[in-house]
């Protein structure tokens, strides 16, 4: 089976196999959005039934169209038979609405975040984020696009007829087992698909068309371009529009990244043009190149048997048809303005060092630690302007992602970013072998002393193995806080009724129990000694909670579960 699938890919890239029309996910544009997470089956290959997961269907999910400043409610109904979370990747929402690993949606329950859309027009996406299970749930199929619209973008002459001249393009690879089931732990992600369609073609009109590209792959980078080396215009990145279109013939995208591109198909009606991955041009030490590591001997299991690595092939065949009645034929020269914060105005620089426990295989650490749900790695005072300096001491590149904010890249290996990386982003590739990237970001909203935001590598295998950390944004006017790793112990955890709590400074601690929405739940503790106490949880509802140990100027948080 594996062999057959890889052959299918190779043949498909030369156009020998029958092609399938590109699936275009439906849209939801209302301010109340219902998403049901469900199991189903998908025939990626004729006659092969694969178990998959989707939102409102068996695979992927609808495209959510949001308007800036709208108040939205999203009801996420988990019918998967297991717990998960849903994260709105790229949206600037409060941590309790962000859907990170702490916001678990138990099976059979509905999670209903409500928020105001604060984001500029741009391309975002949603996907599960349950710690250590993110890759499985995304690989099995849960992911969808979020397109934000705003007035500034609406005033530009740009294609925006969804499915007509404005197309969602979710590029993913998956591995399959011999029996045709999705294999998410493998470097044999030999099946390339767009919007879940293998070997797809798209009918597009002979005019300027817009591709909303998402690299939704678990590990793979792509170097996108077109078959005839046509130049295209990059008009937006993760955080929205660039100041001006950037003409390119190649654009490299890591997992999690988005690109808003325009390609002018005017005058080529009746012809075909292919969106390609120029994998042979991806530099080594990037997943997708011929070598995933810095040296030939640094190999991942199965990597060199995967024909998608280091080769050039078609991602999407575009068949150019008649123009629409009101085609966009010109590309605006100015899109938006960016006020990039200058270095020197920051409140703090944080340094993050990526390291490895086993060369290219990982697990990979950040500042020597694997992710710990109970440790808040950074406390960011509300309003801070911060530089994060990321250094990669491992032999493979990592696409670093941060929640809550969009950032501006200050430099990559000491050089200012090229025009295509000068806009706002929430994912950036940190090159292997002591590569360094510095970005600057403002943390302006959403203080919450308890529920953290995540930062992590967006290679989902790396993330699941612990290449992740978390930060809280605190309001310095509300309380003085400072981070420390937890000395607290809580047992049993999970618990039915009575839990015992120990901490060397328990006597001086003020204890607060907070639920995952941030509401304080009244509790009382019976001190047994200076460092041990007992809390009765029998009257509180089942679910996840945070127990805060607050001292004069700092606090610690332990996550507990009431059964
Ligand atoms: Cu796209 Cu923390 O994730
Ligand atoms: Cu995210
Ligand atoms: Cu990584």
Asked if residue 435 belongs to a domain, the reply is: yes
The predicted pLDDT at position 141 comes to 98
pLDDT band at 531 (very low <50, low <70, confident <90, very high): confident
Establish whether residue 87 lines the binding site of ligand 1, counting it when its CB lies within 6 angstroms of any ligand atom.
Answer: yes
Asked if residue 72 belongs to a domain, the reply is: no
Report the CATH number that the domain containing residue 515 is assigned in CATH.
Answer: 2.60.40.10
Average pLDDT over residues 528-539: 88
Ligand nearest to the CA of 398: 3
Provide the β-strand partners of residue 161: none
382: its two tokens: 């509300």
Establish whether residue 101 lines the binding site of ligand 1, counting it when its CB lies within 6 angstroms of any ligand atom.
Answer: no
Establish whether residue 140 lines the binding site of ligand 1, counting it when its CB lies within 6 angstroms of any ligand atom.
Answer: no
Q: Compute, in angstroms, the gap from residue 454 CA to the centroid of ligand 2.
A: 7
pLDDT over 80 at 550, yes or no = no
Asked if residue 420 belongs to a domain, the reply is: yes
Average pLDDT over residues 168-193: 96
Ligand nearest to the CA of 405: 2
Domain identity same for 498 and 450: no
Average pLDDT over residues 79-85: 98
Average pLDDT over residues 518-525: 80
* Cβ partners under 8 Å of residue 273, min gap 6: 226, 227, 228, 230, 263, 265, 318, 320
Q: Which ligand 1 atom sits closest to the C-alpha of 454?
A: 2
pLDDT band at 350 (very low <50, low <70, confident <90, very high): very high
Report the CATH number that the domain containing residue 422 is assigned in CATH.
Answer: 2.60.40.420
Ligand nearest to the CA of 399: 3
Centre a 10 Å sphere on the Cβ of residue 79 and count the other Cβ atoms it contains: 12
% of the chain beyond a pLDDT of 70: 93
pLDDT over 70 at 526, yes or no = yes
The predicted pLDDT at position 178 comes to 93
The predicted pLDDT at position 334 comes to 97
Domain identity same for 410 and 522: no
Asked if residue 548 belongs to a domain, the reply is: yes
266-291 confidence digits (pLDDT tens):
999 999 999 999 999 999 999 999 99
103-137 confidence digits (pLDDT tens):
999 999 999 999 999 999 999 999 999 999 999 99
pLDDT band at 552 (very low <50, low <70, confident <90, very high): low
Between the ranges 252-261, 490-499, 522-531, where is the mean pLDDT highest?
A: 252-261
Average pLDDT of the chain? Answer: 92
Domain identity same for 425 and 514: no
The predicted pLDDT at position 18 comes to 65
Establish whether residue 248 lines the binding site of ligand 1, counting it when its CB lies within 6 angstroms of any ligand atom.
Answer: no
The predicted pLDDT at position 14 comes to 42
% of the chain beyond a pLDDT of 90: 80
Domain identity same for 412 and 464: yes
Q: Which ligand 1 atom sits closest to the C-alpha of 100?
A: 2
Q: Compute, in angstroms, the gap from residue 422 CA to the centroid of ligand 3.
A: 23
Establish whether residue 256 lines the binding site of ligand 1, counting it when its CB lies within 6 angstroms of any ligand atom.
Answer: yes
Domain identity same for 367 and 449: yes
Task: Specify the 3-state DSSP secondary structure of 508.
Answer: helix
Q: Which ligand 1 atom sits closest to the C-alpha of 463?
A: 2
DSSP state letters, 404-463: S--EEEEEETTBPPPGGGSSEESEEEE-TTTEEEEEEEE--S--EEEEEEEEEESSHHHH
370-394 confidence digits (pLDDT tens):
999 999 999 999 999 999 999 999 9
The predicted pLDDT at position 480 comes to 38
Asked if residue 443 belongs to a domain, the reply is: yes
pLDDT over 60 at 483, yes or no = no
The predicted pLDDT at position 517 comes to 64
Asked if residue 416 belongs to a domain, the reply is: yes
Q: Compute, in angstroms, the gap from residue 409 CA to the centroid of ligand 3.
A: 19
Establish whether residue 129 lines the binding site of ligand 1, counting it when its CB lies within 6 angstroms of any ligand atom.
Answer: yes
The residue whose CA has the least distance to atom 1 of ligand 1 is 89
Domain identity same for 536 and 421: no
pLDDT over 90 at 559, yes or no = no
The predicted pLDDT at position 39 comes to 98
Domain span at residue 501 reads 489-562
Mark which of 439, 474, 509 sits at the end of a domain.
474
Domain identity same for 495 and 470: no
Ligand nearest to the CA of 138: 1
Q: Which ligand 1 atom sits closest to the C-alpha of 455?
A: 2
Establish whether residue 403 lines the binding site of ligand 1, counting it when its CB lies within 6 angstroms of any ligand atom.
Answer: yes
Domain identity same for 457 and 511: no
Establish whether residue 127 lines the binding site of ligand 1, counting it when its CB lies within 6 angstroms of any ligand atom.
Answer: yes
> Lowest-confidence range among 10-14, 181-185, 540-544, 548-552?
10-14
52-76 confidence digits (pLDDT tens):
999 999 999 999 999 999 999 999 9
Cis peptide before 175 (omega within 30 of 0): no
Q: Which ligand 1 atom sits closest to the C-alpha of 127?
A: 1
Domain identity same for 357 and 411: yes
330-349 confidence digits (pLDDT tens):
999 999 999 999 999 999 99
pLDDT band at 547 (very low <50, low <70, confident <90, very high): confident
pLDDT over 90 at 353, yes or no = yes
Q: Compute, in angstroms, the gap from residue 480 CA to the centroid of ligand 1.
A: 29
Q: Which of 116, 31, 43 is nearest to 75 (CA)?
A: 31
Establish whether residue 462 lines the binding site of ligand 1, counting it when its CB lies within 6 angstroms of any ligand atom.
Answer: no
Q: Compute, in angstroms, the gap from residue 86 CA to the centroid of ligand 1.
A: 10
The predicted pLDDT at position 518 comes to 64
Domain identity same for 468 and 519: no
Q: Compute, in angstroms, the gap from residue 498 CA to the centroid of ligand 1.
A: 35
41 backbone φψ class: left, alpha, beta (φ>0; ψ -120 to 50): beta
Domain identity same for 469 and 516: no
The predicted pLDDT at position 48 comes to 95
Total domain count for the chain?
A: 2
Asked if residue 125 belongs to a domain, the reply is: no
The predicted pLDDT at position 527 comes to 87
Q: Compute, in angstroms, the gap from residue 493 CA to the centroid of ligand 2.
A: 28
| pTM assigned to the model | 0.85
Domain identity same for 441 and 533: no
The residue whose CA has the least distance to atom 3 of ligand 1 is 89
By the 10 Å C-beta count (0-12 exposed, 13-18 middle, 19+ buried), 220 is classed as: buried
Asked if residue 14 belongs to a domain, the reply is: no
197-253 confidence digits (pLDDT tens):
999 999 999 999 999 999 999 999 999 999 989 999 999 999 999 999 999 999 999
């Amino acid at each position: 089976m594996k062999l057959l699938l890889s052959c299918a890919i190779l043949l498909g890239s030369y156009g020998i196999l029958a092609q399938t029309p590109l699936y275009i996910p439906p849209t939801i544009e209302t301010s109340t959005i219902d998403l049901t997470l469900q199991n189903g089956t998908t025939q990626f290959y004729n006659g092969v039934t694969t178990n998959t997961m989707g939102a409102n269907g068996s695979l992927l999910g609808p495209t959510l169209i949001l308007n800036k400043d709208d108040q939205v409610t999203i009801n996420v109904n988990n019918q998967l038979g297991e717990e998960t979370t849903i994260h709105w990747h790229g949206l600037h929402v409060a941590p309790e609405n962000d859907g990170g690993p702490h916001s678990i949606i138990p099976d059979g329950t509905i999670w209903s975040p409500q928020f105001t859309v604060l984001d500029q027009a741009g391309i975002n996406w949603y996907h599960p984020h349950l710690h250590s299970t993110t890759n499985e749930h995304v690989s099995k199929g849960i992911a969808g696009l979020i397109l934000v619209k705003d007035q500034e973008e609406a005033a530009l002459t740009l294609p925006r007829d969804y499915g007509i001249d404005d197309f969602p393009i979710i590029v993913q690879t998956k591995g399959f087992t011999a029996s045709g089931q999705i294999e998410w732990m493998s470097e044999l992600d030999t099946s390339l698909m767009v919007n879940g369609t293998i070997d797809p073609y798209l009918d597009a009109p002979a005019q300027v068309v817009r591709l909303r590209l998402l690299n939704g792959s678990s590990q793979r980078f792509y170097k996108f371009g077109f078959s005839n080396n046509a130049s295209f215009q990059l008009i937006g990145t993760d955080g929205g529009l660039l100041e001006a279109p950037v003409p390119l013939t190649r654009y490299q995208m890591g997992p999690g990244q988005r690109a808003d591109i325009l390609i002018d198909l005017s005058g080529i009606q009746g012809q075909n043009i292919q969106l390609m991955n120029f994998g042979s041009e991806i530099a080594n030490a990037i997943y997708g190149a011929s070598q995933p590591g810095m040296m030939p001997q640094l190999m991942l299991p199965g990597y060199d048997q995967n024909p998608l690595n280091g080769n050039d092939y078609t991602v999407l065949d575009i068949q150019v048809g008649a123009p629409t009645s009101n085609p966009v034929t010109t590309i605006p020269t100015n899109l938006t303005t960016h006020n990039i914060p200058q270095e020197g105005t920051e409140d703090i620089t944080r340094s993050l060092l990526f390291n490895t426990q086993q060369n290219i295989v990982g697990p990979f650490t950040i500042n020597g630690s694997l992710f710990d749900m109970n440790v808040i790695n950074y406390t960011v005072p509300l309003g801070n302007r911060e530089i994060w300096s990321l250094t990669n001491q491992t032999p493979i590149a990592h696409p670093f992602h941060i929640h809550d904010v969009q950032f501006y890249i200050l430099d990559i290996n000491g050089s200012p970013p090229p025009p295509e990386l000068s806009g706002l982003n929430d994912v950036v590739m940190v090159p292997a072998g002591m590569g360094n990237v510095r970005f600057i970001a403002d943390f302006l909203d959403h203080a919450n002393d308890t529920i953290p935001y995540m930062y992590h590598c967006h290679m989902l295998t790396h993330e699941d193995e612990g290449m992740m950390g978390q930060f809280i944004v605190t309001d310095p006017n509300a309380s003085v806080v400072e981070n420390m790793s937890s000395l607290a112990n809580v047992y049993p955890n999970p618990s039915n009724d009575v839990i015992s709590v120990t901490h060397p400074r328990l006597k001086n601690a003020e204890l607060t129990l907070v639920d995952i929405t941030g509401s304080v739940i009244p509790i009382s503790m019976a001190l047994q000694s200076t460092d041990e106490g007992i809390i009765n949880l029998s009257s509180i509802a089942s679910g996840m909670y945070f127990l805060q140990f607050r001292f004069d100027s700092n606090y610690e948080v332990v996550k507990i579960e009431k059964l």
